[in-house]
A and B are shown apart, each in its own frame.
Chain A
Amino acid sequence: MISRQILIITPLFFAFGSAIISSFYTVGKNWQNFVLGLIGVLVLFYLGLFFTPSIAGTFSTPSFLEFSMDKFTVFIGAIFFVSLFTGLYPIRNKISLSPSFLYFIAGGLGIILSNNLSTFFVFWTFQRGIPFVRFIKDIRHGRTTGGGTYVVQHFLTAICFLIILYLAWQSGFLFTPFAEIPASFFTWPVLLFAFIVIYESHGIFPFHSWIHDLVGKLPWYEISSIFLARAGILLFVKFLLPTFNQDPDAFKLLLLTLSIFSSIYWSYRGILEQDVSKTTTYFYVAQSSLLLTGLQADLTAAHGAYLHMMVISLSGTALWSLLSYVQHSFSLKRSNQFYGLAQYYPKLATLFCLFGFCMIGVPLGASFVVEDLVITGLLEKQPYLGLGHIFATCLNGILFFLIFTKLFLGQSAYKQQVKNMDMPVKEILPYVGVLLILFLIGIFPHLFLEKINW
C-alpha cells in the first residue's frame, strides 16, 4: 500500500520540487534539457502504469489534501506527458522554455491526481493563477492591451468554486473523496455552480472568452499544458458523472446543447479569424468542446470521448508544435493570404495534414472511430442534438482545411528562395510514432478500446 502511495505522490513531488528549484536556478540550455528529461521520465512512468493491470490507490495527507490514482487518472497523465513530449522534443533547439513552465506542469499534475474538492480547488487555482498574476502585473504597468477578460472570468469562476466549497463544507463533503459524495448533495445551486466551473475550465461557450486572451500572450506549450490537464473534464467525470443519471433532464440538456453550440461557435470563430496562431487554437478548442458531449451521452459515446481526448491531445499538441517550428523562421501573422510553406517544409506540411486528418474524422484515422461512437451514443439520448454534433464536425473539417491551405499551399508570400528548411528526419520520429499509433487505432480500434474499460 505504501509503495502505491509513493507512486502517486512521487511525480507530483518531483514536478513541484523542480519548479521551485528552477525559480532560483534557470540555467539556459541545461535547464531546458532537464525539463525535457523530466517530461520523458514521466512519459515512461505513466505509460508503464497504464499497461500495469492493477494500479488503483489513494494518498491522503493528514489535513485536506487527497490524491488518488486509478486507470482513468493514469490515462490522462499518460496523454498529458506524451503530448508534451511529442510537441516539445522535436523543436527543443528552436525554442527556449519559459521559467514558469514547470509550474504549469506541476499544477496540471495536481489537478489530475486530486481526489476531493479542496485538493482540486488548490491545484486548479494554482495553475490558473500563474497567467492571472502575470496579466495583473502587465495591466498595472500598462504593458498589455488584453488579459483583462482572463483575470475577470477566472476571478468570478473562483468565486463560484468557493461557493461550491462552502456548500460542501456545510454538508460535510469538503474533504470527502469525489466518489463518496452522495447524489443528495447535487441540488440546483451546486449543479449550476459546478456547471460554470466545469464549462469555464474547459473553455466552453458562454464562458470561453479567456481563451482569446491567452493566445499570443502565453507560449503555446503553456496554453497546451492548461488544456492537457483537462480540469473541466476531470471535474465532470469525478464530481458530476457518478450521480449524473439522477440529475434533472433540463440540466443535462443544457450541458449537451452548450458543448455542441460551443464547438460550432469556435469553428465559426476560427473561420473568421485572421491570426494563424489563434485559428489553430480555436480549431483545437472546437474539437475539445465535443469531448463533454460524448461523456454525457452514454457508455458507447463515453468510450468515443476518451479516445477523442487522446486524439486531440496528441494531434493538437503536434499541430501547435509544427506551427511553432515554422514560426521560428517565418512571421505568420495574418491568415488572409496564402503562405505556400509546403515549398519550404514538405515533410512538415505532410505531417500537419495527417495530424489534421486524424482529428477531423477522415476514415482510417482514429477520429473516424470517435465520430462513429460519439454520434451513435449521442443519438440514443438526443436525436436532434446529434444533428448539431454532425454539423459541428463538418465545420471543424472545413476549418482545418482552411488552416492547412492558408499555411502550406498556394503561392509563397516570401520572396527568398530558401530551401532545406524542413525538419531533420531524426527529429520527426516522435511525430511519426504518434501518427502511426493514431492510424493504427483508426484501422484496428478494438486494440485500444479494450484498454479503456474502467
Chain B
Amino acid sequence: MSENLFLLTFFSPFIFSVLLGVLFFTKIKIPEYILSETVKWFSLYMATISLALFVLSWINSPSRILLDYAPWIEVEHYQFKVRFIIDLLGASYAMLSAALIGIIFRFSRNYLHKEEGYFRFIFLLSILQFGLIIVSFSRSIDLLFAGWELVGTTSVLLISYFYAQVQPVRHSVKAIISYRICDMGILAAGAWAHHYLHSTDFTVLPNIIEHSHSGIATITIGAFIIWGAIAKSGQLPMSSWLPTAMEGPTPSSAIFYGALSVHLGPFLLIRFHDYFSHFPALLWAIGIIGGMSAIYATLVGRTRSDAKTMLGYATISQVGIIWIEIALGFTNFALFHMITHASLRTWQFLRSNSIMHDFYENPAVQQNVKISRQMSFEKFFTGNFKKKVYVHALHAFHLDYFTMKILSLISLPFRIFIKFENKWMEWDTRFLNRLLRKGNE
C-alpha cells in the first residue's frame, strides 16, 4: 500500500511537469482558467496522497520501508542505485510540500492573474515539487543530490521571474553562486562516501563508520554535508543571498525562502543525525553555526525597513534555532519546529503585501495594532555600544565585503597569471612582426 502510494507521489509531479513542459515549449496557449482549475485538482490530489502516505508512515512508525529499484546508471562494476526510504521524516516533509505548494497554487491564481509568466511559474513549481519528493524519500546521497539541484535551479529561475528588471537578475546570480559553492559539499560527500565507505546509503552509513578505520575521511564527509546544508538554509557565512532573493513573486518567496527550500538544510541534518552523533565535533559545529546565524539574522533583521527582507532575516534566525535543536539531539522537536515554522512563515509572506496596505489605509486595523517595544531585547544594549551594533547590523556586519575580499584573495594568483599572459601574448605578436619585417627587408 505504502509503496504504491509512494510511486504515485513520486511520478505524479514528474508526469505533470513533463506535460506542462511540452505545453510550455510548444507554446500551446491554454486559457488561464483551465490551467488554474487543473492545477487546483492536481494539488488536491497530491495533498491527499501525501497525507495518506504520512498517516501510513505514522502508523508504522518507527519502522520504515526500504525500496530498491533497478539501477539508473550502470557501467562496468559501478551502479547508481535508485533507493528510497519511506519513513515519518520523509512523509512529513512530502506532506508539508504538497500542502504548502497547494496553498501557493491557490494564492497565485489571484495574485498572478493575467500575469504573462503565470504558466512559467506553475511549470517551475511543479518541477520544485518533483525535486522535493526526490529529496524527501531518497535513501542515498547521489539521488538526494539530484533532487537538491532541481530545487536550487527552480529557485534561481523564480528569483529572476521578472527577468526584464536588473535587480532580480543580479540577485538570482548571487543565489546561484551561493548554491553552487555549497552544493559542492553534497557532491563531495557523496563521492567520498562512495570511495571511503563504499556506500552512500543513509541507513547503513552510521553502521559502516563504527567499523571504519578512515577517521578523518568520515568526519570530512560529515563536514561536507553540513557545508551543503548551509546555503539552502541561509546560515552563516552564506546568509546574505537569502534576504535579497525576495525579488521573485511573493508566492515563490513564501514557498522557497519561508517554507520548503530554506528548511531543506535542517531536513538534511536530521537525515544525517545518526551519522553526526558519532562525531561530537560536528554536532558542535552545527550548533555554533546555527547560534551565530540566529544572532546575526536577528540583529540585522531589526535594522531593515522592508517587510519581506525582515521576514527573510527572521527565517534565517528561526532556522538557526532549528540547527541548534538538531545539534542538541532534539530531532523530533526540530521536525515539529520545521513544519510549524514553515506553515507560519508561508502565511506571513503571503500576508506581507496586503498587511502593509491594511496598516496604512484601513483605520480599523490601525486602531487595533500597537507596536510594542516592551519585550525588545534592545534595552539591554546601551549608549555607544548600542550605536555601534546598530551601524554594523545596518551593514549586515560587512558579510558581503568580507566574502568578496576572501574571493579576491583566493583568485590573486590567477589574476597575476592573466596579467602576465596578456603581456606575453602582446610580446609574441610584436616579436613576430619584427621578425617578418626583417625577413622582408
Contacts and interface: CB of A to CB of B under 8 A. Distances in A.
Interface stretch (B72-80, B97-105, B256-264, B282-290): B72-80
Contact of A136 (B195, B217, B436): B436
Contact of A402 (B153, B164, B173, B431): B173
A103 B382 CA distance: 79
B429 A375 contact: no
B165 interface: yes
Interface string B361-397: 0000000000000000000000000000000000000
B78 A394 contact: no
Interface stretch (A23-31, A72-80, A405-413): A405-413
B418 A146 contact: no
A371 to B, nearest CB: 8
Contacts of A395: 180
B121 to A, nearest CB: 15
Contacts of A146: 425, 429
Interface stretch (B142-150, B271-279, B334-342): B142-150
A300 B78 contact: yes
A154 B192 CA distance: 40
Contacts of A383: 192, 195-196, 217
A387 B188 contact: yes
B411 A373 contact: no
B164 A390 contact: no
B73 A446 contact: yes
Given A148-B425, A350-B25, A410-B166, A405 B173 contact: yes
Contacts of B188: 386-387, 390
B191 A409 contact: no
A142 B433 CA distance: 8
Interface in B150-186: 150, 153, 156, 160, 163-166, 169, 172-173, 176-177, 180-181, 183-184
A384 B436 CA distance: 47
Nearest to B24: A350
A319 B421 CA distance: 27
Interface string B179-217: 011011001100110111000000000000000000001
B430 interface: yes
A58 B74 CA distance: 32
Given A152-B428, A265-B414, A363-B146, A445 B165 contact: no
Contacts, number: 153
Most chain-A Cβ atoms within 10 A of its Cβ — which of B73, B173, B437? Answer: B73
Contact of B432 (A148, A299, A386, A387): A148
A149 B163 CA distance: 40
B150 A363 contact: yes
Nearest to B427: A148
B333 interface: no
Most buried by A among B72, B180, B411, B440: B180
A362 B149 contact: yes
Contacts of B432: 136, 139, 148, 151-152
B215 to A, nearest CB: 15
Interface string A361-399: 111100011011101110110010011001101110110
A242 to B, nearest CB: 18
Contacts of A343: 164
A161 B133 CA distance: 54
A405 B160 contact: yes
Nearest to B149: A363
User: Is the contact region of chain A dominated by helix, strand, or loop, or is it mixed?
Assistant: helix
A20 interface: no
Interface string A169-185: 00000000000000000
Contacts of A142: 433
B95 to A, nearest CB: 23
B424 interface: yes
A232 interface: no
Nearest to B430: A148
Contact of A401 (B73, B173, B436): B173
A377 B191 contact: no
Interface string B404-441: 00000001001100100100110111111100110010
A147 B432 CA distance: 9
B160 A409 contact: yes
Nearest to B147: A363
Contacts of A410: 163-166, 169
Interface string A108-145: 00000000000000000000000000001001101011
Contact of B73 (A152, A363, A397, A445): A445
A423 to B, nearest CB: 13
A383 to B, nearest CB: 5
Nearest to B187: A390
A53 B277 CA distance: 54
B411 A446 contact: no
Interface string B210-226: 00000001000000000
B361 to A, nearest CB: 31
Contact of A149 (B74, B77, B176, B428): B428
A361 B164 CA distance: 26
23 contacts: A140-B437, A146-B425, A148-B429, A148-B433, A151-B432, A209-B424, A265-B414, A300-B78, A357-B153, A362-B149, A362-B150, A375-B187, A379-B191, A379-B194, A386-B188, A387-B188, A390-B184, A390-B191, A401-B176, A405-B160, A411-B164, A445-B73, A449-B75
Interface of A: 136, 139-140, 142, 144-149, 151-152, 209, 212-213, 265, 268-269, 272, 299-300, 303-304, 338, 340, 342-343, 350, 357, 361-364, 368-369, 371-373, 375-377, 379-380, 383, 386-387, 390-391, 393-395, 397-398, 401-402, 405, 408-412, 432, 445-446, 449
